[in-house]
């Protein structure tokens, strides 16, 4: 596997670490359980990074030196792809010919490396986009920066080069065909999963006690990277409208923002704090840094509802995680979220980003405990259908088909995946 711009070892929720990190970690672990050896190549960002780290039995992370360890943002990395590719090819050259059976690249930067590596080694290239420039640019938040033409060109090249393209949803597969002329024989749909061992229903009162939250509060949680794409500002504006309409809610409303600045949000890391002050809701908004999965599960269990006002989401793993903990989700009706969230059953889907519409959608979750309880139970049942084991099995089938071998061969012999 190739993950150039973000390491599976990094903490999701800040910088460039997010759902893709979770995806790679969980998928790699489950593939290893299917007897598929996985090596993940990622860029070293610290001089102390060990050359190789065992993430789990059968899963090795390789740090490749490509450019300075610090000070590079994602937009700087195309200039380092040659150095990164050199490091990948040099590693392979130290093994016997045919060491790797298949390359699975994640995100377009990795696809550029995978394109060359797969051709050099004479193996198939499987690619997962995670996000697409043309899709993001069609749904930009106000004031957000569009993805550059160079990325569009790079993505087009990767689609042309890939043997198979794994899409999270049927909608994403259709977008690959529409925007990038992906062929039907290239496309495969495999839903991502959720770690049901970590994210599961629990004691809300105990979780709130551990997090210092009031037991009687309506807790509307945002968890993710703080950037215009994720639209935490829409939540704050909606809360301001909600409190204007129902002033009595202020006494028992808490809005935690769990995450760190990322992407274009790095330019104005305090903008959300300032917005809360301008809207007069600083008393109900609480800012918290990113946390590990066990602590994040506590936040989900403590919440009345998770709020995801994103402008674009390839799938929305956070929505699945929250639902697996028995928490309903109020989400934008974009990307893969209509698959992750069942509108009116496990949560609410909102069309557009008008704060008034969002306030209207959030109001029942702040005032109707029965609705929260029923949708939370349905949410847990829904999320239980999305285990990572199923995602890994589906991905293994894609590998098997790409290698022109029957699926049973994958669990009967060791394969090596780069």
DSSP codes, 314-345: SS-HHHHHHHHTT--EEEES-TTHHHHS-BTT
| 175 among annotated binding-site residues | no
Both 268 and 352 in one domain: the answer is: yes
Across all residues in the chain, what is the average pLDDT? 92
For residues 257 and 223, give the distance between their C-alpha atoms in angstroms, rounded to a whole number: 6
In a domain, 14, yes or no: no
In a domain, 146, yes or no: yes
| 278 among annotated binding-site residues | no
Both 46 and 187 in one domain: the answer is: yes
| 126 among annotated binding-site residues | no
In a domain, 9, yes or no: no
| 132 among annotated binding-site residues | no
CATH number of the domain within which 154 lies: 3.40.50.2000
In a domain, 346, yes or no: yes
Q: Over the stretch 61-87, which tens digit does the pLDDT of each residue have?
A: 999 999 898 878 888 999 999 999 999
| 163 among annotated binding-site residues | no
Nearest to 391 by CA among 184, 128, 178, 7: 128
Both 365 and 394 in one domain: the answer is: no
Both 274 and 182 in one domain: the answer is: no
Nearest to 22 by CA among 386, 318, 361, 387: 318
Both 94 and 40 in one domain: the answer is: yes
Contact indicator for 342, 382 with CB cutoff of 8 Å: yes
Both 41 and 58 in one domain: the answer is: yes
Instruction: Tell me the pLDDT band of 45, cut-offs 50, 70 and 90.
Output: confident
Supply the pTM of this predicted model.
0.87
Domain that holds residue 364: 204-383
Q: Over the stretch 326-378, which tens digit does the pLDDT of each residue have?
A: 999 999 999 999 999 999 999 999 999 999 999 999 999 999 999 999 999 99
| 104 among annotated binding-site residues | no
In a domain, 237, yes or no: yes
| 301 among annotated binding-site residues | yes
For residues 361 and 246, give the distance between their C-alpha atoms in angstroms, rounded to a whole number: 14
| 17 among annotated binding-site residues | yes
| 268 among annotated binding-site residues | no
Both 213 and 188 in one domain: the answer is: no
| 169 among annotated binding-site residues | no
Instruction: Tell me the pLDDT band of 309, cut-offs 50, 70 and 90.
Output: very high
54 CB-near residues (< 8 Å, 6+ apart): 60, 61
């Amino acid at each position: 596997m190739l993950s150039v711009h973000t390491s599976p070892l990094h903490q999701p929720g800040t910088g460039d670490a997010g759902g893709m990190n979770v995806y790679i970690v969980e998928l790699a672990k489950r593939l290893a359980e299917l007897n598929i050896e996985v090596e993940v190549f990622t860029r070293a960002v610290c001089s102390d990074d060990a050359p190789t780290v065992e993430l789990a039995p059968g899963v090795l992370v390789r740090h490749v030196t490509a450019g300075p360890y610090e000070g590079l943002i994602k937009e700087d990395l195309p200039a380092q792809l040659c150095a990164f590719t050199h490091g990948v090819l040099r590693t392979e050259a130290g093994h016997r010919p045919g060491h790797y059976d298949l390359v699975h690249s994640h995100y377009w930067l990795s696809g550029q490396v995978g394109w060359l590596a797969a051709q050099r080694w004479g193996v198939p290239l499987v690619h997962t986009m995670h996000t697409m420039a043309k899709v993001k640019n069609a749904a930009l938040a106000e004031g957000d920066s569009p993805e550059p033409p160079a990325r569009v060109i790079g993505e087009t090249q990767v689609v042309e080069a890939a043997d198979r393209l794994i899409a999270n949803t049927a909608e994403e597969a259709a977008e690959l065909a529409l925007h990038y002329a992906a062929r039907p024989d290239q496309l495969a749909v495999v839903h991502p999963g959720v770690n049901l061992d970590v994210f599961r229903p629990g004691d809300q009162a105990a979780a709130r006690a551990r997090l210092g939250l009031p037991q009687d509060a309506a807790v509307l949680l945002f968890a993710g990277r703080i950037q215009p794409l994720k639209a935490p500002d829409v939540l704050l504006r909606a809360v301001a409208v909600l409190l204007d309409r129902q002033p009595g809610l202020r006494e028992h409303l808490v809005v935690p923002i769990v995450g760190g600045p990322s992407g274009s949000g790095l330019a104005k890391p305090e903008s959300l704090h300032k917005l809360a002050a301008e809207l007069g809701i600083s008393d109900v908004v609480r800012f918290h840094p990113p946390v590990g999965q066990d602590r994040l599960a506590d936040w989900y269990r403590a919440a009345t509802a998770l709020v995801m006002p994103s402008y674009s989401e390839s799938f929305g793993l956070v929505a699945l995680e929250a639902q697996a903990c028995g928490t309903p989700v109020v989400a934008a009706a974009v990307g893969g979220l209509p698959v992750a969230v069942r509108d009116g059953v496990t949560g609410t889907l909102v069309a557009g980003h008008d704060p008034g519409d969002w306030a209207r959608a959030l109001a029942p979750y702040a005032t109707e405990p029965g609705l929260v309880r029923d949708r939370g139970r349905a949410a847990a049942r829904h999320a239980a259908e999305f285990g990572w084991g199923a995602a890994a099995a589906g991905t293994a089938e894609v590998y098997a088909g790409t290698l022109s071998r029957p699926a049973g061969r994958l669990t009967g012999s060791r394969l090596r995946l780069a």
